[in-house]
Amino acid sequence: MKNLTVSFVLSAIFILIGIQPIVHAQSSPVMYFCERYDQDQGEIGISDRFTKGYLTVMVKADKPLGLKNVYIEFDKYNFYSQKFDFYKKFNYTIEPDMKYVYFSKNEDSDLKFEEAGFYRVFLLNDANETIASALIEITDSN
């Protein structure tokens, strides 16, 4: 009887392990930040804490993003209301087959943080749906 109970418990454990969903380290696009992107050197100065000024937003995915018109939106944390308030939004055009893309200052978008604080940054599709997001802290100085 004891052997039957042990066999049943071991079988149940193996069955539960076998039906667990497969978890991947990166199941959706990842957003992060750097000081700038260089075609030869890649990302320069990756962090989640920067001083005021221009930044580059990086997005990396396992599969093509399938997007053409996208937006980078900044929402700044308001300590008085304890909520994030809209700060800025910039539009970009990318290729649908891109899996790795950077967003930086251009003639239409400055991607500049002028005020110290905590920000939520979003990559949005043309329907304003969130594709990726991340938090960043901007300080007055190092």
The pLDDT value given to residue 22: 45
d(CA 120, CA 59): 14
133 three-class SS: strand
Q: What is the pLDDT of residue 28?
A: 82
**pLDDT tens digit sequence for 103-141:** 998 887 888 999 999 999 999 999 999 999 999 999 997
Q: Note the pLDDT of residue 108.
A: 79
pTM of the model: 0.77
Q: Please state, in angstroms and rounded to a whole number, the distance separating the CA atoms of residues 19 and 62.
A: 24
Catalogue all structural domains in the chain, each as residue range(s) with its CATH number.
Answer: 25-139 (2.60.40.1930)
Q: What integer best gives the mean pLDDT of the chain?
A: 85
pLDDT value, residue 48: 94
Predicted pLDDT of residue 10: 39
Q: What is the pLDDT of residue 110?
A: 84
Report the distance separating Cα 127 and Cα 106, nearest Å: 23
Q: What is the pLDDT of residues 67-95, one digit of tens each?
A: 999 999 999 999 999 999 999 999 999 99
Tens of pLDDT, residue by residue over 4-47, are 454 444 344 444 444 444 444 446 899 999 999 998 999 999 99
Answer yes or no: are the C-beta atoms of 46 and 56 closer than 8 Å: no
* Predicted local distance difference test score (pLDDT) of residue 9: 41
